[in-house]
Structure 1
Amino acid sequence: MKTTKRIIAFSMMVIFVLSAFLLSACTPKEPTPPAAGDQPPAAEEVTLNIFQFKVEIAKELDEAARAYEAEHPNVKINIQTVGGGDDYGAALRAKVQSGEEPNIFNIGGPQDVEDWMTRLEDLSDQPWVGQALEGVLSGVTVDGKVYALPFNIEGYGFVYNKAIFEAAGINAADIKDFASLEAAVKTLDGKIKAGELKDKFPNLKAAFEVAARETWVTGLHASNTAFSQEFPSSLDAYAAKSIEFKHADALKALLDLQADHSPNAKSKAKLNAVDYATQVDQGIAIERVAIIQQGNWIYGGVKAVDETVANNLDILPMPVKGVKEDSIPVGVPMYWAVNNKGSEAQKAAAKDFLNWLYTSEKGKDFIVNKFFFIPPLKGYEGLEPKDPLGQAVKRYAEAGRTMPWVFMGYPTGWGMEVLGTEIQKYLSGDIKWEDAVKNAKNQWTEMRK
């Protein structure tokens, strides 16, 4: 499918992010769109199978499903979550190939739209479409038709513990570029090694933890900092037949800074065994490390371990050395799609559930106060982010210090299976950085043929 036929005009990511936070304060409140009940599912008994990737909300999403069932006794919802250390895209393909097709599933940006087009229900007539913030639907719109509902708006960077920084005498407000970040990390590292912070933080072992086993952390999120300076949007990345990898050295600097100041600094191959739980639940949440590359989605998980620590978190920029140094990537992580292979009753119920989740008052409460999402729609006046990481993303967005998410336009599997794997080889010492970059560039070109 040609890009020129399948993609409408793209609005810059910064615009829709700013809209997310400023429209509620600057524009009159629009009428709430019809919620559940205005487009009721069929009266017959219906079972919905949801296959979703976001492990951080697995428990809360199940609670939301039970709340919906209580209002719609003819609908039964089953939810399966595959994410974290698992490849959701591969798992979804396997699920479909097995004949167990979910009624609701997740897709990314334009590349996933092409890959799954034969199973995407047209959602253009759904009430929430008119409430979407500017730009959030561009990557899932083809020939004027909208095929998915955005999960939320997220931002990521270097999440850090403010209490540890304060104890180390580091002023986070002074960190605005790579040089100041590096200086702060070296100061922190020195104080940890000297034992100066041990009394207050007995678990503290290193400045960073690096979850290199999670190739989405390295091959998608970390690499996005570099490629967001090469491509204005995911649509541009999707259209690219090759890459220059202009800022490969800046990406290397970010990776090296983390690896060189991690518990495995002297044996970096071990970083390839560090997973999300080790980085988050057994890392920053217990104050074993002070900084990790993650986003506002970790708040709920850290809160479940230690609420005091969770409320002491904030986000530092991810500086692309010599290019854009004071910003964080902000964008839409995934979208909800409805499988057009389901029965008419299943499709109706699936659409109604998603509409209920994002437009009903009970659903909005789940979105903001239980999922800790930054909403992608209007109509959430008075429901500002309450957690410190959501507030941090808001702060960056309002200051215009953001980068777009372009990794949704990478060739299918390239970010995790190619670049993420090359980064693992680099960390283990099996390959030089220059060769990792060369291999990744060649594979992009091959995968675009």
Structure 2
Amino acid sequence: MNKKLSILSLLAILLVALISACGKNNGNGEASSQAASSAPASETPSPAQETEVVKKDVTIRIYQFKVEIAEALNKMAKDYEAETGVKVEVETHGGGEDYSALLKATLAAGEEPEIFNSSGWAGFEPYVDRATDLTNEPWAKDLVEASKAQITRDGKLLGMPMNLEAYGFTYNKDLFAKAGITELPQTLEDLEAAAKKLKDAGIIPFALTNEWWSMGIHTLNIALANQADPAAFIEEIKAGTKTFKDDPIMKQWIRLVDIMFANGQEKAITTDYNTQVAEFASGKYAMIQHGNWIQGMVDEVDPSLNLGMLPVPLLDKPNVFTGVPNNWIVNNKSAHPEEAKAFLNWMVTSETGKKYISTDFKFVPALNSIAPNPEAVGKIAGDFAVFAPANPSQVKSWNWDRFPDGITQQWGAAMQEYLGKQINGDQLLEKFDKAVADIVKR
């Protein structure tokens, strides 16, 4: 798929969803509030019309990574059981856990959940033989076009894209105002100056974390996405014809990381994801490198927090990054794949399921047939909805899943060493190159 067309089409659907959800903007990136019920009702047939009645006294198991929706997903499972008689057991592993390693261990032990999460591109390769073809499912026609490629093989749709997400630096607008920052940083020099203003005002600029996935995936993707052609660059890295250590963009990226690490909290090396987000939500820090997926966790602490999405400076212009975080895979080696397909169908076609997706999960849906809830989407996504249409060239892709599984985990471990000041910048980039070489050779 053409990279530019893919990103533009994904951007277009995100904007349609977010702008229609958020309505007019007040100039500060805060979405106007309109009732979720005012969105036009989907004309998608009811699940009773689309699927056969599932049999009773069946249990399907879901193995999933998204800790932000765990509580709501369990509630949805109870509602599904009440409606159909089919029991749904949800097992969640995320945050500080290595979901991919745990899933592989679970499958190797002979346990076969009916539904599990997988990323796309190369990250999906270990699970292709287990993935049920979902091409002809009734919801497939409603998928955002750009969400399909990463989970399609040989023309077959092998998973349901979970949702659409975007990230940059989520920032506290009130703390920026308190520090006298009137313009968002456009360069690394601007970002460093903003951090100094925040510190001079007694505000810690960055909420950092020790999580390997945050640093080894989202942080590093800032450099990958800023390449002229990320997909081609990654293929050259995998082939060994280019290296991270000799890439000029990686040198600039090290400067960005140094600014973040030098302006975070003292005990970042012991701060896990949940603590990082909770403390940011309490107003202790001005910026956090996460996206609209933290909105629900923030709202549990302080729903009135005045947040926005700050594009990340690196080269000529600052950027934000968007993509599909994961997919629902129906496991054809499980005991009840047909019941699993019926559950996913119910989730995205029934009014109950759609409400969970748009309101309780706070998702920007990956299906055109589900309208996002403006109040649930929140201020972070609202800012993205304002920035993106005005600056489409500054909306970049997610690229980490183009590397084989295991590489990002090693990158994350190297980032932890760098955060702990055990290695220098050159050694960090050398470890990135070694991780690729070691795993690609296998």
The residue number in structure 1 matching 2:144 is 133
1:216 aligns to what SS in structure 2?
A: helix
- Kept after mapping to 2: 8 A contact 1:18/1:397: no
Question: Could you tell me which amino acid in structure 2 is paired with residue 190 of structure 1?
Answer: D
- Cα shift at 1:89: 0.2
- Kept after mapping to 2: 8 A contact 1:156/1:295: yes
2:50 maps to 1:60: no
2:255 aligns to what SS in structure 1?
A: helix
Change (3 A) 1:390 1:350: same
2:335 maps to 1:337: no
Question: Could you tell me which amino acid in structure 1 is paired with residue 286 of structure 2?
Answer: A
Deviations 1:103-134 (A, max 9, x none): 10001111132111121111111112111112
1:228 corresponds to which of 225, 228, 231: 225
Q: Distance in 1 between matches of 2:277 and 2:154?
A: 41
Q: Distance in 1 between matches of 2:230 and 2:386?
A: 22
2:96 maps to 1:85: yes
The residue number in structure 2 matching 1:22 is 16
Q: What's the C-alpha RMSD, in Å, of the aligned pairs?
A: 2.3
2:113 corresponds to which of 102, 105, 127: 102
Q: Distance in 2 between matches of 1:359 and 1:379?
A: 8
Q: Distance in 1 between matches of 2:180 and 2:120?
A: 42
2:300 maps to 1:288: no
Deviations 1:381-406 (A, max 9, x none): 47446411121232333231311000
Question: Could you tell me which amino acid in structure 1 is paired with residue 64 of structure 2?
Answer: Q
2:362 aligns to what SS in structure 1?
A: coil
- Cα shift at 1:35: 4.3
Q: TM-score, normalised by structure 2?
A: 0.87
The residue number in structure 2 matching 1:257 is 259
- Cα shift at 1:163: 1.2
- Kept after mapping to 2: 8 A contact 1:396/1:402: no
Question: Could you tell me which amino acid in structure 1 is paired with residue 268 of structure 2?
Answer: L
The residue number in structure 2 matching 1:143 is 154
- Kept after mapping to 1: 8 A contact 2:322/2:398: yes
The residue number in structure 2 matching 1:318 is 312
Question: Could you tell me which amino acid in structure 1 is paired with residue 153 of structure 2?
Answer: V
For residues 140-289 of structure 1, the aligned pairs below 5 Å read 140-171=151-182, 173-192=183-202, 206-211=204-209, 213-230=210-227, 232=229, 237=234, 240-242=238-240, 243-245=242-244, 246=247, 247-264=249-266, 270-281=267-278, 283-289=279-285
- Structure 1, unmatched stretches of 5+, are 1-7, 193-203, 265-269
1:294 aligns to what SS in structure 2?
A: coil
Q: Distance in 1 between matches of 2:250 and 2:17?
A: 37
1:414 corresponds to which of 397, 407, 423: 407
2:364 maps to 1:374: yes
- Kept after mapping to 1: 8 A contact 2:309/2:381: no
2:287 aligns to what SS in structure 1?
A: strand
2:342 maps to 1:348: no
Change (3 A) 1:147 1:295: same
Q: Distance in 1 between matches of 2:176 and 2:428?
A: 34
The residue number in structure 1 matching 2:126 is 115
Q: Distance in 2 between matches of 1:397 and 1:152?
A: 18
The alignment covers a number of residue pairs equal to 412
- Kept after mapping to 1: 8 A contact 2:159/2:327: yes
Change (3 A) 1:434 1:64: same
Deviations 1:238-283 (A, max 9, x none): 684345333212221221111111222xxxxx432211122111x2
Change (3 A) 1:237 1:357: farther
The residue number in structure 1 matching 2:25 is none
Q: Distance in 2 between matches of 1:176 and 1:250?
A: 14
- Cα shift at 1:153: 0.6
What percentage of residue pairs aligned between the two structures are identical? 33
Question: Could you tell me which amino acid in structure 1 is paired with residue 439 of structure 2?
Answer: M
Deviations 1:359-392 (A, max 9, x none): 2222221111111111111123474464111212
Question: Could you tell me which amino acid in structure 1 is paired with residue 389 of structure 2?
Answer: E
Q: Distance in 2 between matches of 1:231 and 1:34?
A: 44
- Cα shift at 1:339: 0.3
Q: Distance in 1 between matches of 2:132 and 2:283?
A: 45
The residue number in structure 1 matching 2:294 is 298
Q: Which sits farther off after the overlay, 81-90 or 231-240?
A: 231-240
- Kept after mapping to 2: 8 A contact 1:17/1:153: no
The residue number in structure 1 matching 2:36 is none
1:159 aligns to what SS in structure 2?
A: strand
- Kept after mapping to 2: 8 A contact 1:231/1:406: no
- Kept after mapping to 1: 8 A contact 2:17/2:364: no
1:174 aligns to what SS in structure 2?
A: coil
Change (3 A) 1:132 1:166: same
1:427 corresponds to which of 412, 416, 419: 419
2:430 maps to 1:438: yes
Q: Which sits farther off after the overlay, 14-23 or 91-100?
A: 14-23
Q: Distance in 2 between matches of 1:23 and 1:55?
A: 24
1:105 aligns to what SS in structure 2?
A: strand
- Kept after mapping to 1: 8 A contact 2:208/2:265: no
Q: Distance in 2 between matches of 1:339 and 1:168?
A: 52
2:258 aligns to what SS in structure 1?
A: helix
- Cα shift at 1:286: 1.4
The residue number in structure 2 matching 1:447 is 439
- Kept after mapping to 2: 8 A contact 1:24/1:378: no
- Cα shift at 1:235: 8.8
- Kept after mapping to 2: 8 A contact 1:318/1:327: yes
Question: Could you tell me which amino acid in structure 2 is paired with residue 336 of structure 1?
Answer: W
Q: Distance in 2 between matches of 1:178 and 1:24?
A: 29
1:336 aligns to what SS in structure 2?
A: strand
- Cα shift at 1:166: 1.4
